[in-house]
Amino acid sequence: MLKVPDHQVAGHRARDGRLGPLIDDAGRFYKPLQGDERGANEVSFYASFSSNTKIPDHIKSFFPEFDGTRLVEASDGSGMQTHLVLQDLTFGHVNPSIMDIKIGSRTWHPQAPDGYVHRCLKKDRGTSSLPLGFRVSGARIFKSTESGYWEPENRLSIQTLSADEVKLLLKSFVSSNTSEEPHMKPDCAFASTVYGGSNGILSQLVELKAWFEDQTIYHFYSSSVLMMFEKDLASSGKSPRAEIKLVDFAHVHKGNGVIDHNFLGGLCSFIKFISEILTTPEDSSADSLVEDAQRNHIHSENGSVYDVSLN
């Protein structure tokens, strides 16, 4: 029996009878094929990537496992539809904190038609993508069993964060005090175990970066790095299962002998944000943002300072 996933942070959702992804209880994620060439493109990427013997195993582990396509009953009641069968990345997780980071200052590929280019360009200019080289496209941060999760009130606000706001969000993501005292300076209690260390997020990102400095097979437009961990494990001193995965390949194109300089540049920018948190957790730029929020009461009902649309 397929069901709606609990932990989705971005993309179309299968709630309220709409078309969206489903999961089963064996760890599979069923993503409905987008009707136009995007669906076909994503299938063809997964087929090519999963069978490509030139991709090292440690790089393949950054991608969801692929198990072909299957006809299943769509979540919107429209009957049997083709779905990509992928690994359910949150399978076995209890209360994962998740962020979805769309990488690249440009979400369109060089040969895209003018209309598409201008729509994407407008969005890239209107969000963090152009200034930062990436934009946060979703977040779901576990607070506590009592309080549940923090989520942004609307999806646009989180896509338009400034550099300082992104820094604050990335700190809160690994802090123990995001929940009850939202205006307190995030304590970055789990930064060293989640972002740092030889198995942490930063080290995985750097591994991914090394591949992007070299590989000229694929260019990833509008793909995301998903980053997740279990706060309860971190709190109890256990390994927090911190990991990154790449997702969303409807706009992957051939590299034609050139590295994916757009993705790589954005990835390096994101890496710099994470490494700054590890090297200078006491950096004052985020402090002033917290103070601003306290002074101006720029916060949503659940007390978050992130729901600030900057347009």
Instruction: Give the residues lining the site for a second copy (CB under 8 A).
Output: 105-106, 110, 121, 125, 130-133, 163-164, 213-214, 216, 256-259, 261-262, 264-266, 268-269, 271-272, 285
Nearer to a second copy, 72 or 130 (CB): 130
What's the rounded Cα separation, in Å, for the pair 126 and 163?
14
> Can you read off the two tokens belonging to residue 307?
């729901």
Measured between its terminal Cα atoms, the distance across the chain in Å is 43
Output the smallest distance, CB 152 to a second copy, in A.
Answer: 21
Output the smallest distance, CB 254 to a second copy, in A.
Answer: 11
Nearer to a second copy, 262 or 304 (CB): 262
Nearer to a second copy, 40 or 268 (CB): 268
Strands (E), 2-65: 22-23, 28-32
**Under 8 Å CB-to-CB from 249, ≥6 apart: which residues?**
41, 42, 45, 46, 49, 220, 223
- Kindly write down the DSSP assignment for every residue of 205-248, as one continuous string: HHHHHHHHTT--SEEESS-EEEEEEEHHHHHTTS----EEEEE-
Closest CA to 73 of 24, 9, 10, 136: 24
Output the smallest distance, CB 89 to a second copy, in A.
Answer: 26
Output the smallest distance, CB 135 to a second copy, in A.
Answer: 12
Q: Residue 98: beta bridge partners? A: 140, 228
Nearer to a second copy, 58 or 261 (CB): 261
Nearer to a second copy, 33 or 206 (CB): 206
Output the smallest distance, CB 166 to a second copy, in A.
Answer: 9
Output the smallest distance, CB 244 to a second copy, in A.
Answer: 18
Nearer to a second copy, 181 or 214 (CB): 214
CA 264 to chain CA mean position, Å: 16
